[in-house]
Amino acid sequence: MIIWLVKTFSPLLEQLEVLSTGDSRVFLTARMALASLSSFLIAILLGPLAIRWLEKRFRERVVSDSEKLNEIHASKNATPTMGGIFIVGSILISGLLWADLSNRYVQLGLLTATGFALLGAYDDWIKLSTSRNGLKPRQKLVVQLIFSAVIGTALYFNHHSVPAGLDLIMPVTRMVCYLGLFFIPWSMFVMTGSSNAVNLTDGLDGLASGCMVFAGSAFAGLTYLAGHKVMAEYLQVPFIAGAGELSILLGATVGAVLGFLWFNCYPAQVFMGDTGSLPLGALLGFSALVIRQEALLVIAGGVFVVETLSVIIQVFWYRRTGVRVLACSPLHNHYLFQGQHEMKIVVRFWICSALLAIIAISSLKIAT
């Protein structure tokens, strides 16, 4: 597969490289499109093989504290999980094919995806191969924070000399807050929070993967713009030299998730598990940190944010009052308990995610 891709597209790449000089966007745009297409094809081709392999080893066990939720999800029992293996595999292969591997942001992005995928895979393996319900939440959180601290520290030293590289920027108002050394703990919060937010959303067939397509597409565009000096100045966003290469990685992510969604849509043939949800969320958070658009992550990833807040509010209020705000959290489970069909919930969340991605992109121009 890889050999075929290289042979097929090498002549095209050579022609584009001749056309591409200086800060030309021709080559970058073409590579972003090819990264999306190749990762989609890799996921589509690897999917059936991965599913057959996972069927023999890793099948979902529907176990929760809610008997009603277990009953609703009973049909999902024994569905192959850990499908994130071929999502991350597709991203890595496509990234290695099309991205500039000497670019620091690409290196850190690949490291982020790999590190969080390994953590998710280990958590899934414990959950499915032993009687334990995965890693203890505190253990998983500590490892996530360590990974995020390493990436955040690397970004801090990389951004220290970049204009606005350590600024927290509010959309529309353009209010700025200089973070300084606080950038490192802030990075830990953003990457860990984003990682867990996607994980919490991954509860219905196609829900997290579909929402990730829209959020990932938005940030593929945002990283492209942030790495383009003229467009960054025009839109009054920080110009981050080299950040455009991240659009290759995010393009590959969108393609890989679309390929996975082919098998994950209702009724799902495979679930991504923590192996997929943790690295996808971490990549989103990492991209937002690189281009200094964490506030836009809250908008573009609004579905993930709302799902997370629904869990936090539910737990906090129940512990204080003994009363549940929702029938069941996260929010998508609340609608399930109301009797809405799973596919209706998923499609409506997709629509919200698409609208939020459009709003995030549109906000760049509002105050200019």
Is-above-0.85 flag for pTM? Answer: yes
Burial class of residue 111 in the structure, from the number of CB atoms within 10 Å of its CB (0-12 exposed, 13-18 middle, 19+ buried): middle
Q: What is the largest CA-CA distance in the chain?
A: 67
Residue tagged 């990264």 (tokens): 35
pLDDT at res. 32: 93
d(CA 32, CA 239): 19
User: Angle at CA 298, nearest 5°, toward 163 and 241?
Assistant: 25
Three-class DSSP category at 106? helix
One DSSP character per residue, 247-277 reads HHHHHHHHHHHHHHHHHHSSSPS---HHHHH
pLDDT at res. 19: 40
pLDDT at res. 309: 97
d(CA 286, CA 297): 10
Low-confidence residues of the chain, pLDDT below 70?
Answer: 1-26, 172, 365-368
